[in-house]
Copies of this chain bind each other. A is one copy, B any other.
Amino acid sequence: MRDVKRIEIVIDKPHEPAVLDVLRDLGLPGVTVMDVATGYGDRGARDGGELSDAMSNRYLLTTCTADQLPALTEAIEPLLHKYGGLCLISDAQLIRNA
């Protein structure tokens, strides 16, 4: 059981690959991605992607160490500025298989 930073990212589904690239480049150990049903934010309401992914979001959950955090936020911030969405950072303890 070790301390980690718990990272949540909500992003337009079309831009999810860009976020995943960032996580991989930083060598993060893993990620869990979930579909977002609906939501709203500065850019108005989002649908569930009935017709295309253009208006639908995805939710990503990942973890990193305290030292990895600055690099992560620095890499994510421009994406959020360009594409919208958000990133939530909180403290947690992680149990993993070894």
Contact = CB atoms under 8 A, between A and B. Distances in A.
Nearest to A30: B41
A40 B30 contact: yes
A92 B95 contact: no
A97 B73 contact: no
A8 B57 CA distance: 17
Nearest to A60: B39
A64 interface: no
Contacts of A37: 33-35, 58
Nearest to A1: B73
Given A36-B34, A42-B30, A73 B95 contact: yes
Interface in A1-44: 1, 4, 6, 8, 10, 29-42
20 contacts: A1-B73, A4-B88, A30-B40, A32-B39, A32-B57, A33-B36, A33-B37, A33-B38, A34-B35, A34-B36, A34-B37, A42-B97, A73-B95, A80-B95, A82-B97, A86-B94, A87-B95, A88-B92, A88-B94, A90-B93
